[in-house]
A and B are shown apart, each in its own frame.
Chain A
Amino acid sequence: MAEIFKQKNAWLKYDEAGRKKVMDFCEGYRKFISENKTERECAASIIKKAEKKGFKNLMKVKKVKPGDRLTGGMIYATCPETSIIEHRCLVRPDLSGVVESVVPDGKYKINDTIVTLKDDSGKTHELTLCQKWPIRHPRPINERLYANIPLITGQRVIDALFPIAKGGTAAIPGGFGTGKTMTQHQLAKWCDADIIVYVGCGERGNEMSQVLEEFSSLIDPKSNRPMTDRTCLIANTSNMPVAAREASIYTGITLAEYYRDMGYHVAIMADSTSRWAEALREISGRLEEMPAEEGFPAYLPSRLSEFYERAGLVESLCGKQGSVTIIGAVSPQGSDFSEPVTQNTKRFTRCFWALDKSLAYARHYPAINWLDSYSEYAGDLEKWYCDNVGEDFMKCRERFSALLQEEASLMEIVKLIGSDVLPDDQKLIIEITKAIRVGFLQQNAFHKDDTYVPLSKQLKMMRSTLHLYDVAAYAVAQGVPLSKITDSGLFDKIIRIKYDVPNDKEELLDGYTKEIDDVINTFTVS
């Protein structure tokens, strides 16, 4: 009878081993819950766990079989392109239909038919491992996304002061010898895109062979493979035909879009778009078209905007997220930024990294002038930096630019009457900005640690520099002469952080705050 049913504590049913198992499970669950606060995080980590056990997402690895319906941009085959890049063959964007036949897995040549597709009008199409696309037409996408993830380059002046988003556009204008190509090479080497398309458009042959040589000997820290495994080079050296030069830019951007559609983040370096514009001018001249400004054809701005507008962070037709970031070098004639190519490029790009001759002459590389340059992405990326690097990153950045701006106006005075007449607090600004310029903005591409600096170290460097400024400003306000602080070698120490603190020993930087405090304290106390 029901009344005499005695409830038994389940706990008692377990023996010692069983109880431990239960406790362990609970402990594991608690840990899981505390690590994954939101539903989305839970799902992601469950998938990760399942994948460890051999789970495969059928949506992702779905094998095409006869009777399936494929639409434009869908993946129907994959093959390893290099050891780090999987080539995903996509159905041509303008094609859709039902699969008629599929070949089994195996080795095929690039022109072998892999899938036959019957479109709605009953026509059959043979899909091979390659695809043709007219280079002057942008490849279609599902939708453009809000570009709010930065392209991390490891170059301090870019990441900290003038960041660029994945899917953004940037122009690097500069006269000859200002380091356009060096900057492009540094970005190609270190930026965190999956694939780099490097277009040598009317540039030097030796530079191209340098890229080939250097990139194959350079090991990508993320994948441990040579850089060439993720680089695609389009070479049109300056003595090659002009008509090919005009096309090379489009070839590059189409390649970039093709990989973007597979779901990769692609960065395209165009060195240099001025040569391309000159090719346009030369062809237009030979066609006897009416020239506009400086002999360039009147359609130069529209061509430039067509090119730069092909950048963006998008959801591709197969539902993957990919991006094309365009970084174009501009070689203004006579280093005059008011010429048409620079001016028009400025209108269509959102980052402007102006290279400065006087900085280059002083071998301050990258010679990006902090007063003329700008990035419109800073606001878009603020949230990402806050969430992923540190909440004060953007704050530090603003203070850096404010200090540099202030220095520029002070320098006007110094140029006229020398720095001796300035009061100590203004002299301090000049000292600290010198530390910022030499210690932070200038970066040595040939130093093994300094060539790439992770964001966390960049932030710590900014913090230490600003801390020194704050403490020193306080001391100066207390009447400590500035010369005492400069003689203490603290500024020198800040400048040498880039060489003294290796990238894998960032924690050394934590000691700097205390040291600065200690040194300055001795002054204020005495």
Chain B
Amino acid sequence: MIFEYIGVKEINGSLIVLDDVDCPSYEEIVEIRLDNGSVRHGRIVTIEGGRAVIQVFEGTRGISLNNTRTRLKGRPMELDLSPEIQGRIFSGVGTPIDGLGRIYPEKRMNVNGTPINPVSRVYPQNYICTGISSIDTLITLIRGQKLPIFSGSGMKHNELAAQIVRQAKIANDEDAKFCIVFAAMGVKNDVADYFRRSFEESGVLGRVTMFLNLANDPIIERILTPRCALTAAEYLAFEHDMHVLVIMTDMTSYAEACREFSSSKGEIPGRKGYPGYLYSDLASLYERAGMIKGHKGSVTQIPILTMPNDDITHPVPDLTGYITEGQIVLDRALDGSGIYPPVSILPSLSRLMKDGIGEGFTRADHAALSNQLFASYAKVQDARSLASVIGEEELSESDKKLLEFGKKFENMFIRQSENEARSMEQSLTLGWELLSELPREELDRVDNETLEKFYHPVKE
């Protein structure tokens, strides 16, 4: 039997409270009809006895205590899915907003997903060639990985993400189907527009599924946006064997939406007012990347987040770093000196790269090269901080060489233009060329055999 509940007991921010509800279930979807005929949706977020707290996606503006009729739908939130979703634009809760009508669903899936059993996961090992030297050589992106970009406002993270989308090639697998799911959470209209334009220019728009929740859209929808996007990605990857790249921007807005929502529910806040369960909540999104045994497709995530005040210890980047398999950190000093992409090498990391590079994947010397580049560049930083104290003139010969190397590394290796795609081979060779500038005894992370083969110092 279907009940309609007339009126509500209490309204608090985006939450409404119903009393004496018959058998509500957690995360159940409700439909709220206002007297003026408009329909809103919500989901049950707390149950206490017969009391149900409902979160209204579209906001509670205009709702009074007695002008509503609420109906429980008896199922959790589901997303309509079919292969036709590619090329379409949806709102944060998965309703099409491009004016092309509803999706005729082949399948409906629960947006919350289910955790993947680690035993049925495939350990990701194939790399994705992004054509960007710094990422390919030092922070290799692996298919099925979640690799966030830690940025700050005003830095070129969007450009970098768009370039990755444009250039990403899946290695050794030419005929693999590739598509993109783009989730915008609380971003500016211009940013969403930039992405749309750049997808269009590179001719991938037909393969992009967009979920847009702009900065002025309701925050409750924002909480659902990544969930809808990941559900779509999982559907395409595991039902249609596609390799899906999910770009989510901006995770900081998402976390802020969580904070706002949590405080309106009256929960005890954790660090900086963020809810105590932020880690679990973020993990429930990020962990949806991966590959499953028996399915050809994969879900690779590139979440973008802006570090408030460029602070990497802020809860959002901090917790993200603990969940994701590495991070690409952008650096304001590099950005300021006009180097694009401003990838700060030292704090960046790809955890899965060690098993996806080397013999059989990229090239046998890849691991040694990247280790050495990291180690040498770390020494460059030491030399620079010393130089800033005692002046460059006073440095020892080897430190001067390091400074020279550092400059070349930033200008030739990290810097590349927005339309330049370097092959893996090119990037690795470039890396060795730079290392050959250094004296041989400085290269302590490489064994003699590899050195023999690749270390060719320029004769003076």
Residues of A within 8 A of B (CB): 175-177, 181, 200, 202, 204-210, 212-213, 235, 237-240, 242, 275, 278, 281-282, 285, 288, 291, 294-295, 331, 333-336, 357-358, 361-364, 414-420, 438, 444, 446-447, 489, 492, 495-496, 499
Residue of B nearest to A359 (CB): B378
A237 touches B118 (CB 8 A): yes
Give the CA-CA distance A420 to B117 in the complex, in Å. Answer: 58
Give the CA-CA distance A239 to B230 in the complex, in Å. Answer: 14
A206 touches B115 (CB 8 A): no
Residues of B within 8 A of A204 (CB): 287, 323, 325
A209 touches B118 (CB 8 A): yes
Interface string of B323-347 (1 = CB under 8 A from A): 1011100000000000000000011
* B413 beta carbon closer than 8 Å to chain A: no
B318 touches A176 (CB 8 A): yes
| Interface locus among B25-33, B71-79, B100-108, B385-393 | B385-393
Say how far A226's CB is from chain B's closest CB, in angstroms.
16
B118, B290, B448: which has the most chain A beta carbons within 10 Å? B118
B325 touches A206 (CB 8 A): yes
> Within B254-274, which residues are at the interface with A (CB < 8 Å)?
267-271
Say how far A212's CB is from chain B's closest CB, in angstroms.
7
B115, B145, B355: which has the most chain A beta carbons within 10 Å? B115
Say how far B116's CB is from chain A's closest CB, in angstroms.
6
Beyond A205-B118, A238-B280, A418-B394, 10 extra complex contacts between A and B, CB < 8 Å: A175-B318, A206-B290, A235-B118, A237-B283, A237-B287, A239-B115, A242-B280, A333-B315, A363-B371, A418-B396
A363 touches B374 (CB 8 A): yes
Say how far B370's CB is from chain A's closest CB, in angstroms.
8
Say how far A126's CB is from chain B's closest CB, in angstroms.
32
Given contacts A212-B118, A363-B375, contact A239 B288 (CB under 8 A): yes
Residue of B nearest to A364 (CB): B375
Give the CA-CA distance A285 to B268 in the complex, in Å. Answer: 6
B144 touches A206 (CB 8 A): yes
* B454 beta carbon closer than 8 Å to chain A: no
Give the CA-CA distance A209 to B352 in the complex, in Å. Answer: 12
Given contacts A177-B349, A275-B279, contact A208 B121 (CB under 8 A): yes
Residue of B nearest to A500 (CB): B448
Give the CA-CA distance A415 to B387 in the complex, in Å. Answer: 10
Say how far B371's CB is from chain A's closest CB, in angstroms.
5
Interface string of B373-401 (1 = CB under 8 A from A): 01100110000011001100011100000
Residues of B within 8 A of A489 (CB): 441
Give the CA-CA distance A278 to B269 in the complex, in Å. Answer: 13
Residue of B nearest to A235 (CB): B118
Given contacts A205-B287, A239-B283, A418-B395, contact A285 B267 (CB under 8 A): yes
A361 touches B323 (CB 8 A): no
Residue of B nearest to A450 (CB): B447
Give the CA-CA distance A209 to B325 in the complex, in Å. Answer: 13
Residues of B within 8 A of A418 (CB): 386, 389-390, 394-396
Give the CA-CA distance A157 to B283 in the complex, in Å. Answer: 33
Give the CA-CA distance A495 to B286 in the complex, in Å. Answer: 41
Residues of A within 8 A of B444 (CB): 438, 495-496
B123 touches A210 (CB 8 A): yes
B347 touches A361 (CB 8 A): yes
Chosen A-B contacts, 23 in total, with CB atoms closer than 8 Å, are: A176-B321, A176-B327, A177-B347, A200-B118, A205-B118, A206-B123, A212-B123, A213-B123, A237-B115, A238-B286, A275-B279, A282-B276, A288-B268, A295-B268, A333-B319, A334-B318, A335-B313, A358-B378, A363-B378, A418-B389, A418-B396, A419-B396, A496-B444
Residue of A nearest to B322 (CB): A176
Contact for A208 among B118, B270, B284, CB less than 8 A = B118
B267 touches A209 (CB 8 A): no
Give the CA-CA distance A84 to B357 in the complex, in Å. Answer: 33
Residues of A within 8 A of B402 (CB): none
Contact for A334 among B288, B313, B379, CB less than 8 A = B313
B389 touches A242 (CB 8 A): no
Residues of A within 8 A of B374 (CB): 361-363
Residue of A nearest to B387 (CB): A418
Give the CA-CA distance A168 to B186 in the complex, in Å. Answer: 49
Give the CA-CA distance A372 to B85 in the complex, in Å. Answer: 54
Residues of A within 8 A of B321 (CB): 175-177
* B119 beta carbon closer than 8 Å to chain A: yes
Say how far A211's CB is from chain B's closest CB, in angstroms.
8
B123 touches A209 (CB 8 A): yes
Residue of B nearest to A339 (CB): B271
Residues of A within 8 A of B269 (CB): 295
* B277 beta carbon closer than 8 Å to chain A: yes
Say how far B410's CB is from chain A's closest CB, in angstroms.
16
Give the CA-CA distance A285 to B276 in the complex, in Å. Answer: 8
* B367 beta carbon closer than 8 Å to chain A: yes
A239 touches B313 (CB 8 A): no
Interface string of B427-460 (1 = CB under 8 A from A): 0000000000000010011011000000000000
B268 touches A362 (CB 8 A): no
Give the CA-CA distance A334 to B307 in the complex, in Å. Answer: 13
Residues of B within 8 A of A363 (CB): 371, 374-375, 378, 445
A205 touches B395 (CB 8 A): no
B118 touches A239 (CB 8 A): no
Say how far A281's CB is from chain B's closest CB, in angstroms.
5
* B308 beta carbon closer than 8 Å to chain A: no
Residues of A within 8 A of B327 (CB): 176-177
A416 touches B124 (CB 8 A): no
Residues of A within 8 A of B349 (CB): 177
* B408 beta carbon closer than 8 Å to chain A: no
Residues of A within 8 A of B290 (CB): 205-206
Give the CA-CA distance A334 to B271 in the complex, in Å. Answer: 11
Residues of B within 8 A of A447 (CB): 447
Residues of B within 8 A of A181 (CB): 351
The 4 closest A-B pairs by CB, nearest first: A334-B313, A238-B283, A362-B378, A208-B118
Give the CA-CA distance A373 to B389 in the complex, in Å. Answer: 30
Residue of A nearest to B122 (CB): A209
* B363 beta carbon closer than 8 Å to chain A: no
* B197 beta carbon closer than 8 Å to chain A: no
Residue of A nearest to B283 (CB): A238
B347 touches A238 (CB 8 A): no
B445 touches A295 (CB 8 A): no
B121 touches A206 (CB 8 A): yes
Say how far A388's CB is from chain B's closest CB, in angstroms.
31
A202, A336, A361, A499: which has the most chain B beta carbons within 10 Å? A361
Residue of A nearest to B391 (CB): A418
Residues of B within 8 A of A208 (CB): 118, 121
> Within B346-362, which residues are at the interface with A (CB < 8 Å)?
346-347, 349, 351-352, 354-355
Residues of A within 8 A of B287 (CB): 204-205, 237-239
Say how far A489's CB is from chain B's closest CB, in angstroms.
8
Contact for B121 among A205, A238, A499, CB less than 8 A = A205
A210 touches B445 (CB 8 A): no
Give the CA-CA distance A142 to B347 in the complex, in Å. Answer: 49
B280 touches A282 (CB 8 A): yes
B144 touches A361 (CB 8 A): no
Interface string of B277-317 (1 = CB under 8 A from A): 10110011011101000000000000000000000011100
A200, A210, A335: which has the most chain B beta carbons within 10 Å? A210
B121 touches A333 (CB 8 A): no
